[in-house]
């Protein structure tokens, strides 16, 4: 679809921006529009009952201390939206996007005209489809209510099974151990968090979980979920062994919420296809956050399910709409907190590269640099946030590095950056 075949509606110019999806990316987009001086109406539509909030604590703080939400859980105070003339509509779904008529139809039947639309519809948990999947005690974790329900299961001594040991599964396992549960992780692949950490550090993480008392079962699937009186009581594994469980958490990835975009005729491919300004195949529509399939820093394209991406891509879309386009092409960064470990990952830690370790890889305090042709392509830090800050600067500036110096913890990384100038 191009600008040429979009009918120009006389009133459209004054209609402003409609943002569909009121979580991190949607909330940040609204905020960034106002910060960029955008003065027309902004409507932010979210199907969840809560104003935009932080999902990262859901698998960490909220599970560990369910009685109180962490400080700054909501990305803005309630007063922020009226004060900034942002029409926040919660508990309402956008049911359709009509590009020709430049309007969005809501589940209430209301119609809102737009000049531009930002799709920030995110992703939903992929559901398991095996016998017993619908039993009580089978949980997913995406929204605040999911975390509240799951936290009730995490009683001391409860036997909690996790299907899938990606980021969410591994974080829930750590939180459940902190609550005194018996935890077993069932992961079909040979290593946990494989997509995020690659084989070497995925295996390292599995060992940390074992040290913390998690029963890590790798290369193992679940055939059937067993139930008793309508509630989960265990699972049958792919080797036909049985585990007795009190609750089960399924963390097998997400599905991007592309249905509105698809029905509107936008190009999709595992997400809504956008350019480096977050613009979709239709110039009136932008897509940001977990739902967007974007150009990647090291080439190719893909969907990024990270906090940093949701936030920064939302800002890029807002700037483009406000007439201040600024190309968004950043190396991906995410963090995870498990047990006493803060793990941060930047750039490409998966593809073939020389791995330079700074510190002791067998400890909980080290940094790994992923280097190709003396240029850093990825950084992984374990309880070393300062190395991440320096590593980011080196990666973004494509500094040629001396690998022996990188590996030496006595050499200040900031000096290496200065020397390279």
Our CB check for ligand FAD shows the closer of 20 and 416 to be 20
3-class SS shares of the chain: helix, strand, coil, % to 5: 30, 30, 40
Our CB check for ligand FAD shows the closer of 25 and 401 to be 25
| Cα→Cα distances 39→11, 32, 401, 421, Å | 16, 12, 46, 42
Contact 313, 289 (CB under 8 A): yes
Shortest reach from residue 411's CB to ligand FAD, in Å: 29
Shortest reach from residue 47's CB to ligand FAD, in Å: 4
| Cβ density class 233-251: b for 16+ within 10 Å, e for less | bbbbbeeeeebebbbbbbb
Our CB check for ligand FAD shows the closer of 92 and 420 to be 92
CA dihedral 115, 79, 50, 292 (to 10 degrees): 40
Shortest reach from residue 114's CB to ligand FAD, in Å: 14
Q: What is the DSSP letter of 142?
A: S
Our CB check for ligand FAD shows the closer of 55 and 139 to be 55
Shortest reach from residue 56's CB to ligand FAD, in Å: 4
Our CB check for ligand FAD shows the closer of 125 and 214 to be 125
Our CB check for ligand FAD shows the closer of 135 and 254 to be 254
Q: What is the Cα–Cα distance from 337 to 20, expressed in whole angstroms? A: 30
Give the interface with ligand FAD as residue ranges (CB under 6 A).
Answer: 20-21, 23-26, 45-48, 55-56, 58-59, 93-94, 120-123, 141-142, 168, 257, 260, 289-290, 305-308, 310, 334-336
Q: Is 1 exposed, middle or buried (0-12, 13-18, 19+ CB in 10 A)?
A: middle
Q: What is the Cα–Cα distance from 1 to 18, expressed in whole angstroms? A: 19
Shortest reach from residue 149's CB to ligand FAD, in Å: 13
Shortest reach from residue 88's CB to ligand FAD, in Å: 12
């Amino acid at each position: 679809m191009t600008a040429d075949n979009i009918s120009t509606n006389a009133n459209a110019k004054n209609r402003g921006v409609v943002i569909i999806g009121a979580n991190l990316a949607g909330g940040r987009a609204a905020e960034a529009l106002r910060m960029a001086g955008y003065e027309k109406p902004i409507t932010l539509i979210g199907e969840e009952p809560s104003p935009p909030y932080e999902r990262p604590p859901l698998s960490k703080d909220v599970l560990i201390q369910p009685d109180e939400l962490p400080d700054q859980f909501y990305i803005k105070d309630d007063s922020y939206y009226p004060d900034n003339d942002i029409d926040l509509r919660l508990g309402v779904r956008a049911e359709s996007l009509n590009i020709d008529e430049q309007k969005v139809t809501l589940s209430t039947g209301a119609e809102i005209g737009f000049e531009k639309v930002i799709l920030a519809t995110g992703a939903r948990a992929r559901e398991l489809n095996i016998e017993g999947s619908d039993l009580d005690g089978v949980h997913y974790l995406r929204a605040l209510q999911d975390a509240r329900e799951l936290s009730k299961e995490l009683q001391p001594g409860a036997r909690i099974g996790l299907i899938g040991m990606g980021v969410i599964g591994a974080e829930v396992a750590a939180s459940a151990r902190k609550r005194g549960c018996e935890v077993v992780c069932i992961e079909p692949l040979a290593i946990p968090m494989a997509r995020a950490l690659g084989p070497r550090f995925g295996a390292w993480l599995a060992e940390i979980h074992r040290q913390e008392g998690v029963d890590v079962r790798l290369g193992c699937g679940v055939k059937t979920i067993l139930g008793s009186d309508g509630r989960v009581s265990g699972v049958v594994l792919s080797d036909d062994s049985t585990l007795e469980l009190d609750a089960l958490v399924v963390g097998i990835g997400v599905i991007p919420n592309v249905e509105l975009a698809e029905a509107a005729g936008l190009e999709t491919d595992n997400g809504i296809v956008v350019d480096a300004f977050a613009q979709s195949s239709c110039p009136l529509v932008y897509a940001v956050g977990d739902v967007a399939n974007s150009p990647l820093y090291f080439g190719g394209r893909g969907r990024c399910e990270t906090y940093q991406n949701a936030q920064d891509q939302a800002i890029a879309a807002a700037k483009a709409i406000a007439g201040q386009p600024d190309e968004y092409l950043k190396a991906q960064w995410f963090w995870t907190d498990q047990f006493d470990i803060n793990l941060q990952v930047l750039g490409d830690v998966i593809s073939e590269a020389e791995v330079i370790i700074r510190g002791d890889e067998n400890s909980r305090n080290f940094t790994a640099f992923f280097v190709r042709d003396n240029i850093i392509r990825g950084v992984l830090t374990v309880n070393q946030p300062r190395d991440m800050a320096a590593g980011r600067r080196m990666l973004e500036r494509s500094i040629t590095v001396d690998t022996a110096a990188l590996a030496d913890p006595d050499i200040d990384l900031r000096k290496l950056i200065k020397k390279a100038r």
